[in-house]
Amino acid sequence: MLNGNPLNENTQRQYIKRLASVINSAIADEMIPSNPFMQIKPEDIPKGHSAEVCYLTIDEVRSLIETPCYYSNIKNGFLFSCFTGLRFSDVEALTWGKLQKDSEGNTFINFTQKKTQKWENLPVSREAMKFLPERGLAGRDDLVFKFQSGGYINSVIKTWAKSAGINKKVTFHVARHTNATLLLSLEVPIETVSKILGHSDIKTTQIYAKVIDKSKRDAVNKLDGLTG
């Protein structure tokens, strides 16, 4: 219970996993003799469920591109994420020095993911490059997208999306979801999409594949009844 409300199954499962980690450490340190979790029956453990993934269609992305946003750095950062799949934390920490070119002139980003601490070498498409600001005299260690501190960013994105006629709960993270679903809808192999997103487990990427499958099914179902 939290503030009198029951925790959902996903939250329960996360708490149990964290507690289990603490218990295992206590056993390793000989603070307790055995794992009390062994007494829990598998059927009593919350299974969790997949939350609905919010993403934008390519037409909605185009609408955002065409719709003005007072904070151009937020607009460009969000759209850059739509075409790279970068998390907000990695877009926020992106410096000019992390943007590099190979011998053929292709741009890529050398960086360590904030969330996973994994080193990544991410190719950057020409489409994504359109949303990089002018570098000017900025040095290698200068930030590409200079976001001000504070929790105003998602509020700005929400207002901007509404102005574009998008009736979805759009946050910065929706850009990452959008990148995944766009790539999969273009039939990019799921293994490749998983690597682009930096997922450590392909099961995480499969969530997006299920979204695309459902979209295809919904589209086909619209044909039902057309001939009477």
Is residue 228 included in any domain, yes or no?
no
Asked if the model's pLDDT at residue 91 lies above 70, the reply is yes
Q: Which residues pair with 95 in a beta bridge?
A: 143
pLDDT in tens, 53-71: 899 999 999 999 999 999 9
Cα distances (angstroms) measured from residue 92 to each of 78, 87, 169 = 10, 9, 21
CATH number at residue 159: 1.10.443.10
Are 61 and 176 in contact by the 8 Å Cβ rule? The answer is no
Asked if the model's pLDDT at residue 132 lies above 90, the reply is yes
Is residue 53 included in any domain, yes or no?
no
Structural domain count of the chain: 2
Is residue 1 included in any domain, yes or no?
no
Q: How far apart are CA 203 and CA 80, in angstroms?
A: 25
Which of the 8 DSSP states describes residue 134?
A: P
Is residue 49 included in any domain, yes or no?
no
Those residues with Cβ within 8 angstroms of residue 144's Cβ, 6 or more apart along the chain or in another chain: 94, 95, 96, 99, 132, 133, 138
pLDDT at residue number 50: 52
Q: Looking at the structure, do residues 103 and 131 belong to the same domain, yes or no?
A: yes
Q: How far apart are CA 113 and CA 123, in angstroms?
A: 14
pTM, two decimals, is 0.72
Query: 80 is in which domain, residue-wise?
Result: 58-219
